[in-house]
A and B are shown apart, each in its own frame.
Chain A
Amino acid sequence: MTTTMDPRAAATARPLLPEPRGELSGAVVRALRGGDLGPWPATVGDPYGDDLQLALYLLYELHYQGFDGVPDDREWDPALLGARRTLERRFLDALRADVPHDGDAEGALAGLLVEPVGHDENSVSHHLKRDGELWQLREYAALRSLYHLKEADPHAWVIPRLRGRAKAAMVAIEFDEFGGGRPEEIHAQLFADLMTDLGLDTTYGHYLEAAPAEALATVNLMSLFGLHRALRGALVGHFASVEVTSSPGSRRLAEALRRAGAGPAAQRFYDEHVEADAVHEQVVRRDVVGGLLADEPHLEADIAFGVHATGHLEDRLGAHLLRAWRQGRSALRVPLAEPPTTTG
């Protein structure tokens, strides 16, 4: 194998760096453009706010696809890693303070294994199914693209940190997420097809500018858990939580898309998730969570934390979306361009 290590050889089709949202994200953008990071503030402000979440998002993105004009090797720049550490400590401390500490992994998941009777007015998927308008579905897909276009990616980081039953099961589920060997069936690709159906731009990272802090936080959570071996229990808890809640939520979203007249790919994405995640839920609870608990029982509290932290941030995002939509306004920071062909 030959390797060319030109650190300036950044790909051109990478996302553009966004506008800063404050002091922290401003310093990170400046540093990524080649400047100095400068003095890093001793206190970093609101852990859930736009500035911190965007700064953290930019630093994490170096581990995924990077940005246009930013050399690939900035991923391991010690100054950036040090800055990231202060931000993720603030974020992690806030999460630990704000979620229950029951230390009960099975109990935390059991709470997700029930469905409400009738309409749940605090649920985005319930809202979209019953009352969702096409513009709201488009906003939802645009926001979620930051998550779904890297779906299953940060979860792959946990694989070398698992053993035996948990590892085998995790890899089996990931194989499914990555299309079972077929690129056109990678779940992230199915989501891109859905976006096309809705007249959205499928370019990776395109809607970063539009995404509020609440959406960035849900993505940052899985990057935080995925990148740290010490948080492998929390990553497994996060993954289990997503797989357990996905099937019923996906069915409601598929119905919402059908009702709003979205195209076949838009429905296919969620139909696939109803079926796939009904399988994944069983495997993740029995073998990934069960296997990890058997192997490393001391991680139980972390698994429960991962479940609760995911629910906490999803609830914050849901509340933000429903608040905006109920007032008839966009939930995005930048309004979407009108779709080229629909009448919406």
Chain B
Amino acid sequence: MPNDPERPRRVTVEPGGPVLVEGPVEVVGDDGTVTTSRRFAAAICTCRRSRTYPWCDTSHRRRVKKGEETS
């Protein structure tokens, strides 16, 4: 399990994207609400645009007009 003195919990910051935190993890909101993820890693939204906040839902992605490369 992560987060013992020998093996600190790893946090990865994605430039322009979420912060990836090794799970399980609890996120405490502004109002004190606690949200839990039991996944091996949780992607925490930093752009505040997520509709599933505090979890990333890829809303940070760049938007392009038609004609540019899209999926």
Enumerate chain A interface residues (CB-CB to B < 8 A).
Answer: 111-117, 120, 172, 175-176, 180, 244-245, 247-248, 251, 271, 274-276, 278-279, 281-283, 286, 311
Contact = CB atoms under 8 A, between A and B. Distances in A.
B71 A245 contact: yes
Main secondary structure of the interface of B (DSSP, over half): loop
**Lowest 5 A-B CB distances belong to which pairs?**
A278-B56, A247-B58, A279-B43, A112-B71, A111-B69
A291 to B, nearest CB: 14
B62 A282 contact: no
Nearest to A112: B71
A150 to B, nearest CB: 22
A30 to B, nearest CB: 41
A245 B62 CA distance: 13
B40 A248 contact: no
Interface string B20-58: 100000000000000001111111000000011001111
A258 B39 CA distance: 25
A114 B39 contact: no
A117 B61 contact: no
Contact of A248 (B42, B61, B69): B61
| Residue among A245, A274, A283, A286 with most chain B CB within 10 A | A274
Given A114-B62, A176-B40, A282 B12 contact: yes
Main secondary structure of the interface of A (DSSP, over half): helix
Interface of B: 12, 14, 17-18, 20, 37-43, 51-52, 55-58, 61-66, 68-71
Contacts of B65: 116-117
Contact of A282 (B20, B64, B68): B20
16 contacts: A113-B61, A114-B61, A114-B64, A115-B71, A116-B65, A116-B66, A117-B66, A247-B57, A247-B58, A248-B57, A248-B58, A275-B37, A278-B57, A278-B58, A279-B39, A282-B41
| Residue among B17, B68, B70 with most chain A CB within 10 A | B70
Contacts of A245: 71
A275 B17 CA distance: 14
Nearest to B68: A114
Contact of B71 (A111, A274, A276, A281): A111
Contacts of B66: 116-117, 120
Contacts of B18: 278, 282
Contacts of B12: 282, 286
A176 B39 contact: yes
